[in-house]
A = this chain, B = another copy of it.
Amino acid sequence: MNRPLVLAFDVFGTVVDWRTSVIGELTRFGEIHGVQRDWAAFADEWRGGYSPAMERVRRGELPWTRIDTLHRWILDELLQRAGIDSIPEGDLDQLNRAWHRLDPWPDSVAGLTRLKQRFTITTLSNGNVSLLTNMAKHAGLPWDCVISAELFQHYKPDREAYLGCADLLDVAPGDVMLVAAHPSDLRAAREAGLMTAYVVRPLERGEGRRLPGFDPGEFDFIADDFLDLARQLGT
């Protein structure tokens, strides 16, 4: 079996548990401002708005726009629909940066620390550089470097993001393995010539949610978590 030189990690859902973190931030926001809503549903809609917004950038309907800005547009619309207004700008900005303060899955830091001993470990995320950098400080993620779609002005699954990562690290695409909890991301990486590792994150969208299907053999590795991936890679 071929072995990669670089492990490039999808972040939202793969490294960090965005849902629990964002629900927690929304709940605190509601307490401070005296409003009660279904914050789990609100978090899911906030996340749900992200993919269509990125698609508009990918199709060229919008110029390059950072995730921070897309998150804010979606948040403003959701707050309006929920009838929540008169929130000071500073508090809205603070809430929007909840995505900079996401907590890791229980195995993430220990797994990355082990994998870092043998491989170069980088983000390869649609999150902007400042978001990923702040998140790494918050969550203690020991990245060797922070690579973002922002550097290429191409969101995944655009081919430019996967190839740009290999180019910046000066290795062949086949020497990079994308690690992700999302088959669609992995398929695009494989199309671009990268190796692929699927990590199962059954709770990303909450309990009892069905995970997207995939064929056996579609990906180079299938792992229960980052520690399992480290074991399979012999670290």
Contacts and interface: CB of A to CB of B under 8 A. Distances in A.
A68 interface: yes
Given A137-B120, A146-B146, A129 B68 contact: no
A167 B146 CA distance: 15
Interface string A105-138: 0000000000000001010000011101110110
A143 B136 CA distance: 11
A128 B171 CA distance: 13
Contact of A133 (B130, B134, B144): B144
A146 to B, nearest CB: 4
A215 B3 CA distance: 54
Interface residues of A, number: 21
A133 B150 contact: no
A115 B98 CA distance: 24
Q: Which of A122, A133, A171 has most chain B Cβ within 10 Å?
A: A133
Contacts of A133: 120, 122, 144-145, 169
Interface string A173-187: 000000000000000
Contacts of A169: 129-130, 133
A145 B144 contact: no
A134 B134 CA distance: 22
Interface of A: 68, 120, 122, 128-130, 132-134, 136-137, 143-146, 150-151, 168-171
13 contacts: A120-B134, A120-B137, A128-B168, A128-B170, A130-B170, A133-B145, A133-B169, A136-B144, A137-B144, A143-B145, A144-B146, A145-B145, A150-B168
3 tightest A-B contacts by CB? A130-B170, A145-B146, A129-B168
